[in-house]
Amino acid sequence: EAGVTQSPTHLIKTRGQQATLRCSPISGHTSVYWYQQALGLGLQFLLWYDEGEERNRGNFPPRFSGRQFPNYSSELNVNALELEDSALYLCASSYGTANTEAFFGQGTRLTVV
């Protein structure tokens, strides 16, 4: 069974540009979570999607947004990129909403220059 898959693996953008990151959850999982893992800051919760709806967001500015498609895959968009947005962006999925067992993908390494 395939795990959580993310694309692209690496992404290099210049300041001010937009980045789009993609995630496919484990088959049967309806919830998708996005986390930012910046050096020295640990994992920070970004967004949670379930059944196509945004259920919760972390303490990040509105230029971080996303969506979930009918097949439960998800997209994270980061607008007006800043140098501090350089990080590993991790997607996780879980079965249902009342579940703390989340399974992570390999991440997308975003570098803003």
Partner 1 sequence: QKEVEQDPGPLSVPEGAIVSLNCTYSNSAFQYFMWYRQYSRKGPELLMYTYSSGNKEDGRFTAQVDKSSKYISLFIRDSQPSDSATYLCAMSSYSSASKIIFGSGTRLSIRP
Q: Does 42 bind partner 1 (CB under 8 A)?
A: yes
Q: Report the 10 Å Cβ neighbour count for 42.
A: 9
Among 19, 33, 87, 110, interactor with partner 1 by CB under 8 A: 33
The residues, any chain, with a CB within 8 Å of residue 12's CB and separated by 6 or more, are 110, 111, 112, 113
CA distance 99 to 79: 30
CA distance 92 to 24: 9
Q: Does 7 bind partner 1 (CB under 8 A)?
A: no
Q: What are phi and psi of 91, to 5 degrees?
A: -110, 140
Among 19, 21, 26, 31, interactor with partner 1 by CB under 8 A: 31
CA distance 96 to 50: 8
Cβ proximity to partner 1: between 16 and 96 the closer is 96
Kindly indicate which of the ranges 14-22, 48-56, 67-75, 79-87 contains the residues binding partner 1, using the contact rule CB under 8 A: 48-56
Q: Does 64 bind partner 1 (CB under 8 A)?
A: no
State in angstroms the smallest separation of the CB of 52 from partner 1: 16
Q: What are phi and psi of 84, to 5 degrees?
A: -70, -10
Binding site for partner 1 (CB under 8 A): 4, 6, 31, 33, 40-43, 45, 48, 55-56, 90, 92, 94, 97-107, 109
